[in-house]
Amino acid sequence: MKYFDYAATTPPYPDVVRTMAEIMETQFGNASSIHGYGERADQLLRRARIGCAATIGVKADEIVFTSGATESNNLAIKGAALRYSSRGKHIITTATEHASVYESVLQLQQWGWDVTFIPVDSRGVVTAEQVLKAVRSDTVLVSLMHVNNETGAIHPVEEIGNLLKKNAPRVLFHVDGVQGFGKVHVAPDKWKADLYSLSAHKIRGPKGAGLLYVRSGVELIPLLSGGSQEHGLRAGTENTALIVGMAKAMRIATERQIDFSSQIRILRDRVMKTIAAIPELELNSTHDGAPHIVHFSYPAMKAEVALHTLEQLGCTVSTQSACSSRSAEPSRVLLAMGRDVACAAGGLRISFGDEHTEEDAAMLEKALHQMVAQLRPLERRM
Amino acid sequence: MLNYDMLLLRFGEFMLKGKNRARFEKTIITQVKALLKPYPGASLRKEYGRVYVDLGGESHTQLIPVLKRVFGVASISPVKVTPSEIDEIVQTAVAFMDERAEEFGEVTTFKVNARRVWKAFPHSSHETNHLVGSPILRKFQQLKVDVRDPDIELRVEIREQGTYIFSEVIPAAGGFPLGTNGKAMVLLSGGIDSPVAAWSSMRRGLEVECVHFYSYPFTSQRAKEKVIDLARALADHAGSIKLHLVPFTEIQTAFTQLGQDNLIITLMRRSMLRIATKLAERERALALITGDSLGQVASQTLPSMNVIGRATDLPLLRPLVMMDKQEIISLSKQIGTYDISILPYEDCCTLFVPKSPSTNPNLRIVDKIEATMSHLPEWLDQAVEQTETITLYAGEASVLTGQPENSEMKDDWF
């Protein structure tokens, strides 16, 4: 079985697993304790914080460790909204955000906030001008993703951030960086981002660890109370082992980013070519998207059936994003990109990791041809 | 955004000091070089009264805050370089003003100040003022010329190898180049004041070495780490800095057993000054510096300063003595030590504050008490011997670069 769902989650590096096991066994102290066990744990955290900060080019004290990007996104959006509600009650996001952003803003909407969902074009991206146009005098926050988790579409975050900084300097800018880190160049400081979310398990680190970059000077209301950990922004005993594992995975991902992306871009491009040549399938990803994601639709077939057929043929792929794939609803992201319901309900995502080779891509291509050949007689009448 | 080509660093008041100037300039250049180490693209060039830093692709927004720290530099201007041809100059000058257009109010006054250094340039300075000024006035209706006191002064320096265009003048640290007025030891406690005292002294041209007293187990390892962090923050200004860590447990324990609680701070401070004096002699430093601010705490009343200060023969410099706490705090925020200083770890003085420390210690009694402690001189020497010295450098990531205390920590975990 070949695993092509790296955008959902990744197998942690053996070296990361070993590190975490060693730390769990020997460094179990609570970093808030003042005895030696605690001090040793604290030193591990400090070094991890420095390491994580260095990979994204920010200062160590601007890093808040969380349980993952879902928490980071919730903290960024609700924490900023609660803190700065005196400036206004308007939030801007896009129609294609990850559920943790999308549903956070829906929650704020229920609490009386006004939300602007900027529409995306057929490639799935917004322009900086669109974002700026949506800004009002009561806008508190702009939140959008760097790379879309379903299609790999890349938003022009640097342009957006700089345009915002120039024309609306009081508006905070949050970037959900989960799918971009390790795949494309990342520079929250250059983008003028105030908040930036990351997750460890998308880059071969552990599940249950993530971080939020909070630009110094930006204040948030914590979602978890009960301790002064993480500058009072996130109470709870830090998970030393997972955090060190994340720091290591982030370092490796950063060191390998350029090689990795050029290596998987070749695989992605050949698989995209194959899909484009199969008349039953429709490509939803474009070549200017992230190098690890190919999204396509089989409009005449339920996505679930196509997925299971591919699985029988030895290839694990995904329908929609993992976070919403258990629902049979058509993809919100594809609908927003202007696809029809059939296309949006028949979406499949292939995502590559650093272990994939040309042979794997060839096997996947063969499976795609065979899947369509097997299912063609079962297609619903259009 | 405009891509600047270089930064222009102007020298400060020491320029008046004729004979020493060459030495002063050399010191500045050494410090600039130390602070530029993390930015390999940048390179520097010296000219009369100025230093130019060619950005070489490094970002000016990152470099300006770093170079603002160089002692002896009065101000910095980001510069755009164009070929010395009138069309190019005008075009760049307009783009330059466009960049600042958002600062313009309804009426903003400006002037062009052209200087023809390269006399073969076909237009005189005066002509160039007009040639550059008129298209700018046409483009920006809000601008009005005021040659006496303009809001914006656009400087155009025409040289053979290129024309420098700049207008922003960003104030920098000022003062004297580091170390040009000698060397002193600063007592670094971990609080808000002493790092500010250290920085103020460095700005006045003193090279500074830090002395910190720790008394494990009365103070935690983290209190020591905090002081290392503070010294590192000071190294971001100085390029590098030495920190002497003095074990103080034994002396402190002896004082606590005297049954003279109200004098304990006085006694401790005197011993600290004696140890710092010995270190100063060893390191050839000519003064001690403390963060004392008059009346702030019991040990900083005038009678206390009198009794404590007599423990050293060296000049005892107190840069903050007449400053208000608020001024000190705002300086400490400016120099980047405040956030470290307010971390909650105890230092060895705060831990032993008696209920009613003496604000008016009696010198005769203090002398007598010290005379009864026959081992004190020996302990002082021992403390100096056991002092551990580390050097911190600018731009080092926080902590753990020295020696990780967590000996169980493995490098390959990271």
pLDDT for A322 equals: 55
Tokens 């230093």 map to which residue?
Answer: B51
Is the separation of the CB atoms in B225 and B316 below 8 Å?
A: no
Q: Verify that A42 and A166 share a domain, yes or no.
A: yes
Is the separation of the CB atoms in B251 and B380 below 8 Å?
A: yes
Print pLDDT tens along chain A (382 aa).
999 999 999 999 999 999 999 999 999 999 988 888 998 999 999 999 999 999 999 999 999 999 999 999 999 999 999 999 999 999 999 999 999 999 999 999 999 999 999 999 999 999 999 999 999 999 999 999 999 999 999 999 999 999 999 999 999 999 999 999 999 999 999 999 999 999 999 999 999 999 999 999 999 999 999 888 998 899 999 999 999 999 999 999 999 999 999 999 999 999 999 999 999 999 999 999 999 999 999 998 888 889 999 999 999 999 875 555 555 678 889 999 999 888 888 899 999 999 999 999 999 999 999 999 999 988 864 4
Q: How far apart are CA B191 and CA B348, in angstroms?
A: 11
Q: Do B412 and A34 touch (CB under 8 A)?
A: no
> Who has greater pLDDT, B2 or B8?
B8
Q: Do A47 and B102 touch (CB under 8 A)?
A: no
Half-sphere exposure of A138 (CA within 13 A, CB side): 9
Find chain B residues with C-beta within 8 A of A162's C-beta: 1
pLDDT for A323 equals: 54
Q: Verify that A331 and A211 share a domain, yes or no.
A: no
When scoring B219, B345, B411, B414 by the number of chain A Cβ atoms within 10 A, the one with the most, hence best to mutate, is B414
Residue A149, amino acid: N
User: Which residues face B240 on adjacent strands?
Assistant: B393
Q: Which residue in the set B102, B397, B404 is minimally distant from A60, CB to CB? A: B397
Residue A181 gets which letter from DSSP?
B
Domain count for chain A, please give it: 2
Neighbouring residues of B203: CB distance < 8 A, sequence distance ≥ 6 = B71, B173, B174, B175, B176
Q: Verify that A327 and A297 share a domain, yes or no.
A: yes
Helix (H) or strand (E) holding B55: none
User: Which residues face B10 on adjacent strands?
Assistant: B50, B75
Half-sphere exposure of B16 (CA within 13 A, CB side): 4
pLDDT for A324 equals: 57
Longest dimension (CA), chain B: 86
Q: Verify that A211 and A106 share a domain, yes or no.
A: yes
Clarify whether A323 is annotated catalytic: yes
Residue-number span of the structural domain to which A92 is assigned: 14-252
**Among the listed residues A9, A7, A4, A6, the one whose alpha carbon sits nearest the alpha carbon of residue A313:** A4
Q: How far apart are CA B298 and CA B305, in angstroms?
A: 9
**C-alpha R_g of chain B:** 27
Q: Do A19 and B412 touch (CB under 8 A)?
A: yes
User: Helix/strand/coil (H, E, C) string of B266-294?
Assistant: HHHHHHHHHHHHHHHHHCCCCCEECCCCC
Q: Which residue in the set A43, A244, A248 is minimally distant from B400, CB to CB? A: A43
Q: Verify that A37 and A59 share a domain, yes or no.
A: yes
**Among the listed residues B269, B257, B276, the one whose alpha carbon sits nearest the alpha carbon of residue B357:** B269
Q: How many CB pairs under 8 A join A and B?
A: 58
DSSP B336-351: T-HHHHTS----TTGG
Find chain A residues with C-beta within 8 A of B398's C-beta: 46, 50, 60-61
Q: Do A50 and B410 touch (CB under 8 A)?
A: no
Q: Do B409 and A19 touch (CB under 8 A)?
A: no
Work out the minimum CA distance from A186 to partner chain B, whole angstroms: 16
Q: How far apart are CA B217 and CA B9, in angstroms?
A: 48
The pTM of the full predicted model, rounded to 2 decimals, is 0.69
Q: Verify that A88 and A30 share a domain, yes or no.
A: yes
Stretch among A47-51, A90-94, B34-38, B250-254 having the lowest mean pLDDT: B34-38
* Token pair belonging to A220: 């948030």
Q: Do B409 and A162 touch (CB under 8 A)?
A: no
User: Which residues face B156 on adjacent strands?
Assistant: B114, B165
Tokens 């200083």 map to which residue?
Answer: B341
Cα nearest neighbour of A22 on chain B: B413
- CATH homologous superfamily of B183-393: HUPs (3.40.50.620)
Cβ neighbours, 10 Å, residue A24: 14
User: Which residues face B185 on adjacent strands?
Assistant: B209, B288
Is the separation of the CB atoms in A51 and B414 below 8 Å?
A: yes
pLDDT single digits (tens) B389-414: 999 988 775 444 444 456 778 888 89
Tokens 């065979």 map to which residue?
Answer: A370
pLDDT for B400 equals: 42
Stretch among A359-363, B184-188, B337-341 having the lowest mean pLDDT: B337-341
Work out the minimum CA distance from B89 to partner chain A, whole angstroms: 26
Q: Give, in order, the Cα–Cα distances in Å from B388 to each of B43, B384, B385.
A: 36, 9, 8
Find chain B residues with C-beta within 8 A of A44's C-beta: 406, 409, 413
Contacts 24+ apart (CB under 8 A), A154-160: A154/A125, A154/A180, A154/A184, A154/A288, A154/A289, A154/A290, A155/A94, A155/A125, A155/A126, A156/A125, A156/A127, A156/A128, A157/A191, A157/A193, A158/A187, A158/A190, A158/A191, A159/A127, A159/A128, A160/A126, A160/A128, A160/A131, A160/A191
Cite the residue boundaries of each domain of chain B with CATH code 3.30.2130.30. Answer: 6-171
Q: Do A40 and B408 touch (CB under 8 A)?
A: yes
pLDDT band at B296 (very low <50, low <70, confident <90, very high): confident
Q: Which residue in the set A19, A36, A162 is minimally distant from B413, CB to CB? A: A19
Work out the minimum CA distance from A130 to partner chain B, whole angstroms: 20
pLDDT for B218 equals: 77
* Token pair belonging to A128: 């900086």
pLDDT single digits (tens) B71-121: 999 999 999 999 999 999 999 999 888 888 877 888 889 999 999 999 999
Work out the minimum CA distance from A50 to partner chain B, whole angstroms: 7
pLDDT single digits (tens) B117-138: 999 999 999 999 999 999 999 9
Q: Verify that A332 and A227 share a domain, yes or no.
A: no
Tell me the CATH number at A149.
Answer: 3.40.640.10
pLDDT for B398 equals: 47
Q: Verify that A340 and A275 share a domain, yes or no.
A: yes
Of A252, A268, A284, which residue constitutes the final position of a domain?
A252
User: Helix/strand/coil (H, E, C) string of B70-98?
Assistant: CECEEEEEEEEEECCCHHHHHHHHHHHHH
Of A220, A252, A284, which residue constitutes the final position of a domain?
A252
Q: Verify that A341 and A225 share a domain, yes or no.
A: no
pLDDT for A367 equals: 96
pLDDT for B347 equals: 62
- For B6-171, CATH gives 3.30.2130.30
Chain B residues in contact with chain A using a Cβ-Cβ cutoff of 8 Å: 1, 102, 220-222, 339, 397-400, 404-406, 408-410, 412-414
Of A212, A237, A252, which residue constitutes the final position of a domain?
A252
Q: Which residue in the set A34, A43, A60 is minimally distant from B406, CB to CB? A: A43
Q: How far apart are CA B10 and CA A36, in angstroms?
A: 50
Q: Which residue in the set A39, A61, A244 is minimally distant from B413, CB to CB? A: A244
Cα nearest neighbour of B397 on chain A: A50
Helix (H) or strand (E) holding B210: strand B207-214
